[in-house]
Every structure is written in C-alpha cells, then in structure tokens.
Homo-oligomer: A and B are copies of this chain.
C-alpha cells in the first residue's frame, strides 16, 4: 500500500502567534519527539530562533523552512543553506501577486545549488482562477521544484471543492502534491483527507490542530482517520501511533493549552466507552485507547517502589529523562507517594514541569501565606538565589497575588502575568493541581508550570518556573 507523508507544521503555525510561544529548548525537544513519532518533515517559519538547533537535532526527518521567495537573502535562510545537513525550503506564493515564473527562478536556483529541496506553496489556490493555477504549475515545473502544496489558508473550502481542485492539479502535473488547510469552518481534517483521496502524497498538519485563529488540521486526527479507514483511503503513514497521546500531551504542556476531555483521538474521554456494536459489514479498524498510547489500566505505585521500577514506568509512559532528571523525578515521586498512592496521571503531572524546565536561578525554599475574606492577603516567600536565602513579604489581591509580588521583589525581573489556569489531575482531595501560567517579559510570552496537592503552592512553583525562563532571556 502507498504511503502518505506527514509534514508537521506545529512550529511553523505557532510562530505566528504570541499565544503559543516556545523557547529554543522547547522547540528542540518537540522536534526530537516528532522525529520519534515518525513524521517525514518538520517545518518551521523563516523567523524560527531554534532553526539551527532543530536542524542539528534531527537524524532522519527532513527539516523545512517556510518563507517567501524574496526572503532568500535573509541571514537565517543563508546560514542554513551553507550547512552540511540537507533540508527543504518551502516558498510561499502570496495570492496578492500574479505568478511570474522568472520571479522565483533565482531563489529556487540558489536553494537547489546548495543541495536543498524546494516546495512551492500556493495560498488559496483552491479559490483562484484556472489561469492562475496554470501559471503556478508552470512556474513550479519550469524551475525544477520538487513538490507543490495546495493550501486553503482561509479555511473556507469544503471537502468536495478541495477534492476537485486537488484532483485537477494532480491530473495537470507529475509533481508530488502536498495539502494543507486552516480550520476556520471546522473542516480542516476533512479537507486534508479529501486531498489524499484526490491523489496528494503529503499532508501538512499540526499537533492538537494548533495554529492561528481556529488552527489547522490536527495531525493525530488525520493520521488515525487514515489508519482506521484504510479501506477508504488505501494509504498508510509512517507514524508510530502509540506515541500520539504522549506527543499531544507534550505540546499541550509547552503551549499551556490543555487537551479537553472530548478532543478527538487523544482527549481523555475521546476513546472511552466506545461500546457500540459495529456493523458486520464494516471494513474499518476501530481505534482503541492503547493504539494512540493511552494506558487504560493505570499502574499504582507506592512508597516502596524502587527507582528502577519507577524508571521503567516513566519510559512506558513515553518520557525520555536524563539520569539527573530521573533522579530528581524519583525524589519527588517518593515525597508524593508518602502522601498517597501514585498513578500514571500523577506521574505525568509530576514530569510535565521537567519539560518546561529551564536553568534554575531561583529555587523555592519556603513560603507562608495568610489570607481571608476580611483581612488583606500576605505572603512570605524565601527563595534560594545562587546559594543565598532571600526573604520577602508582600500583600496582594489574594495569597497567590501576594506571593507573586514577593517573588517579583526578590527576582527584580519586571514581568506581567498574562494568563493563569489550574486543573486537578485526578479526583479527590489529594489530587495534584497542575498550574500553567503565561507571563510577558520583553515582548516575549513565557510559560511556567507547577504541580502540587496545594493549589497555592502549584501556582507559586509555576510562577518561579516562568521567572527562571525570563532570567534566561534577560541573560541572552
């Protein structure tokens, strides 16, 4: 059976939105995870600050940079073209311009002479005239590009229209066709799949469907639809679907956007209770939680669990930790196991801050809060800063606000809180609270995460986590 290539555009699509800001370290970690997942191409935007790190971290996956042809002279593109490793430049064709094959000739030549591949993407090709389509394909063919992409960048197509246009394009050229669609009308997944049915050989999609506005086709939905409906699409992908859940969780952690229960494929509830009787005539494969890496029977660990058993479990859950991180995680596990039985969801919550972790300038030593409905809230916080304990006390709108002000006074870093959310990980009074917040510092949005059975402590840990990232930015 023929294979559909999967191009992940999570980083490209998130780069245009301050909401989904990622640090260099986070982008590199995500790129490594996407490579483990088995995506064929990882695409970033031309302004990606982690491009060099990602390129170096990849072993088998093609690295792609999306940009307009007139950006070929930018330092970012130039520096990659001069590297040893090979990749791809994806030139975007703005709909504002008429297509002039000569216009892109020199850009394409420069890229290809460096051994890079070239793709041409036409924005809104689905809504353009036949004349425009002809000119676009001619421009691609006459310049010797390696593939073309049909992109509904407005998200207003429907699968019937999209099928028609992709079919007409695959019949006009032998160039491999890739497809991409925005989700403004809730049809991105259907559009991309209609493109596959019409002969496209590559799908472009993002983890959890992230991106500007209503986002893009969700990678996990596209991949699992192809797998479940092999009878219809007659295609495979190279994706290791058992890593989909883990990958979705990881990206969710980094951008601070939780996966809600009903999120198709990887939401907590999406694959549960699939107790319907399937018609005998059905040729499709039913998706089970374990197919996407959701572990149904959570193992419960206790305070006598050894480090090697803990390590095994962490690996089964899809986490790759360094020996130092593992050691730290095990110590935190023991502290938690002293209070309650620890299940997989607790472990995942505990490990999440490791992903968000940066070099720690500020370490929480101790805090005391005092608050109520009729008294001002006060917080005393002691942070360890380069080996020295520094104490500060502050008042605020509530104990958490007071604690944040005390931390600000100690750190001396001028940040502002943009967003805050907290979720319980399991049920019950001893559930872990998982706090995620965003701060802005020097025009950058930084995410912080903290976990504790005490929601005030979780909030404080998340804030310190974010402040530590701001300190890294400040030192750059």
Contacts and interface: CB of A to CB of B under 8 A. Distances in A.
A319 interface: no
Interface centre among A159, A218, A421 (most CB of B within 10 A): A159
19 contacts: A19-B269, A127-B281, A127-B282, A154-B276, A158-B159, A158-B229, A159-B190, A184-B287, A185-B224, A185-B225, A187-B189, A210-B262, A213-B272, A366-B374, A369-B369, A369-B370, A399-B399, A418-B427, A421-B422
Nearest to A283: B127
Contacts of A197: 160
A400 B276 CA distance: 40
A410 B255 CA distance: 41
Interface stretch (A101-109, A113-121, A235-243, A429-437): A429-437
Contacts of A222: 186
A423 B420 contact: yes
B159 A429 contact: no
A100 interface: no
Contacts of A57: none
Contacts of A399: 369, 371, 399, 454, 456
Interface string A140-175: 000000000000011010111101000000000000
A183 interface: yes
A429 B154 contact: no
Contact of A215 (B262, B371, B374, B423): B262
A185 B454 contact: no
B369 A185 contact: no
B187 A225 contact: yes
Given A183-B262, A398-B456, A416-B427, 14 more contacts: A95-B277, A127-B281, A153-B276, A154-B278, A158-B232, A159-B194, A160-B197, A209-B262, A213-B273, A339-B397, A368-B372, A398-B454, A400-B454, A420-B422
A366 B370 contact: no
A129 B279 CA distance: 10
B184 A189 contact: no
The 4 closest A-B pairs by CB, nearest first: A398-B454, A368-B372, A190-B190, A186-B221
Nearest to A187: B190
Contact of A213 (B183, B224, B271, B369): B271
Contacts of A154: 276, 278, 282
A277 B96 contact: yes
A454 B129 CA distance: 56
Interface in A167-224: 183-187, 189-190, 193-194, 197, 209-215, 218, 221-222, 224
A367 interface: yes
Contacts of A428: 416-417
Interface string A456-469: 11010000000000
Contact of A375 (B194, B232, B368, B422): B368
A231 to B, nearest CB: 10
A214 B270 contact: yes
